[in-house]
Structure 1
Amino acid sequence: MTVSIRLQIKTLYKDLSLKEQAIADYVLENPSKVCHSSISDLSSDLGIADSTFFQFTKKLGYNGFKDFKMAMLMQESELAALSIHENIEKADNELTIAQKVFDSIMTTLTDTRKLLKEEDLQKAAAMINESNRLFFFGVGGSEIVATDAYHKFLRSSISVFHSADFHIQLMEAAVLTPDDCAFFISHTGKSRETIELANVAKSNGAKIIVVTSHAASPLAKLGDVVLISISQEIEFRSEALSSRIAQLSILDSLYVIVMFLNREKAQRSIAKIRRSISTAKET
């Protein structure tokens, strides 16, 4: 599936220079004009050199402006129907606000699904299956996602580990081996602590899977597999909160894939857990 220009821009936006972000905003706000203008006209509107706009298109993965413009023409109707932000209005009532939050979440999930690649999911599942131990790492809001993934994968036949404490995570990263697999979760991909953990894991030869919203981030560059979660912004609700829903869905998907690939072992493991926790439930 071809990734749309809008999604390409969102995954790279925070890694763009200020001038490149201005170009990105202009493209998303004026898709029809971009589709039907020359690079000189657009550069003049933005007050930049033609070469700056040209390099922006290269950063998005196109051969140049002509290639970029052709893609824009093919996606013009989609781009014209979308805006960069979906803001809460002062006059919105409680139901409207809630509906906008739900709309934002649904857009986040749809966008993230478009970015999923079969080869990445296959590789990630194989890395998990072939590992002796599976570790989940994350700090701050990403730690919540790591804990949820740990809770799910405990039902599998894989030895799985996670700690909420950063110092213990550092110790876990220090004892990783080439036979282990480590998940690193970070919305920005720029969390100093998470990058430190990933560097320690990398130095020990562990297989690394990264879940982040920014494909060009420092953390993404450390991953053997990188799974991208797109987030949708609305006022009073940060991108990180929105991306959490997408990240949970990515990890849920991998959990189901891994369990399906190991169906017999998974069923035995789930049966053991169900028997164990049944005694703690009221009858």
Structure 2
Amino acid sequence: MSEFYQIDRIFKNKGLNDSDKNILAYILKNPDKVQHQGIRTLAEHVFTSPTSIERLAKKLGYSGYSELVYHAKHLIRETTLPQPSSLDTLTTLSPEIFEDRVVQLFNREHYVYIYGEGFNEFVAGYFYRKLLVNRYQTLLLAGLEIPLVYDPGQKPVLLLISRSGENFSCLEKIRQIEAVNGTLISFTSNANSTIAKKSDVPITLVDPQVSDAANINYTHFYGDCINAFENLLNFANLDPSEL
């Protein structure tokens, strides 16, 4: 079941049946072996015909079997799901607490408020759109205060991006979310910052240019925020058999 789930994530909306998924599962699990042995041997292993495999390749948009197998390695590399061990490096929390809170808070029962100022605002906008297309209840707090938009029926989570971890407006948003018994996820470059210490899930991203408040010099902080967010969201929505 978990292999089929992985295939559904890679090949979305392709109308695959169980036989197609069985073929792809074998190819993705053994790309080198399949490339070396050829289509007839593959057909024997998965109890189908070479014609069916060629038909599947065409269905997926490839010119044929050879192109499908050629891209199998790239497909595996580009869609490898994040593992807990790689996520644990993003936080000072223990692995068990971190993983549990990520799954709990990135839950569609919660209402997610998102806020970031300056360059962080661009990252906040990406987070907002990503959550929207994944059918989360979410609101971008651009010019809005939490008391104005909060509804008692919500289970609010505040998602903050602050490179320094000391932004005044972000600290005010934290005061507001605490007043309605909400929870906090933060993305900062300083694990010892006020914002990180107040967070239920503090995400810390190393930034060699942390003192460059004007963002004049090279930094990968903002790109790392998006990468970390993608990994967290992906991990939170894994099939339980993948955890």
Q: TM-score, normalised by structure 1?
A: 0.46
1:214 partnered with 2:199 = no
Alignment of structure 1 residues 182-193 onto 2, 5 Å:
182-193=158-169
**1:198, distance to aligned residue in structure 2 (A):** 0.9
Q: Unaligned stretches of 5+ in structure 2? A: 1-85
| Structure 1 match to 2:230 | 252
Aligned CA-pair RMSD: 3.2
Structure 2 vs 1, CA of residues 237 and 198 (structure 1 numbering), >3 Å: closer, same or farther? closer
Counterpart of 1:142, as a letter, is N
Distance 1:238 1:173 in 2: 35
8 Å CA contact 2:108–2:135 kept in 1: the answer is no
Higher helix share: 1
Structure 2 vs 1, CA of residues 116 and 195 (structure 1 numbering), >3 Å: closer, same or farther? same
8 Å CA contact 1:208–1:225 kept in 2: the answer is yes
Match for 1:195 among 151, 171, 187?
171
8 Å CA contact 2:106–2:233 kept in 1: the answer is no
Distance 1:158 1:212 in 2: 23
Distance 1:201 1:173 in 2: 11
Match for 2:106 among 128, 132, 145?
128
Counterpart of 2:227, as a letter, is S
Percentage identity across aligned positions? 17
8 Å CA contact 1:231–1:239 kept in 2: the answer is no
1:225 partnered with 2:201 = yes
The range that moved more, 209-218 or 114-123, is: 114-123
Distance 1:131 1:213 in 2: 29
Distance 1:227 1:197 in 2: 17
8 Å CA contact 2:147–2:176 kept in 1: the answer is no
| Structure 1 match to 2:138 | 160
**1:261, distance to aligned residue in structure 2 (A):** 4.4
**1:176, distance to aligned residue in structure 2 (A):** 6.9
Q: TM-score, normalised by structure 2?
A: 0.53
Q: Per the alignment, in what secondary structure is the counterpart of residue 106 of structure 2?
A: helix
Counterpart of 1:204, as a letter, is V
Taking CA–CA contacts closer than 8 Å with sequence separation of 6 or more, which of the two structures ends up with the larger relative contact order? 1
**1:116, distance to aligned residue in structure 2 (A):** 2.5
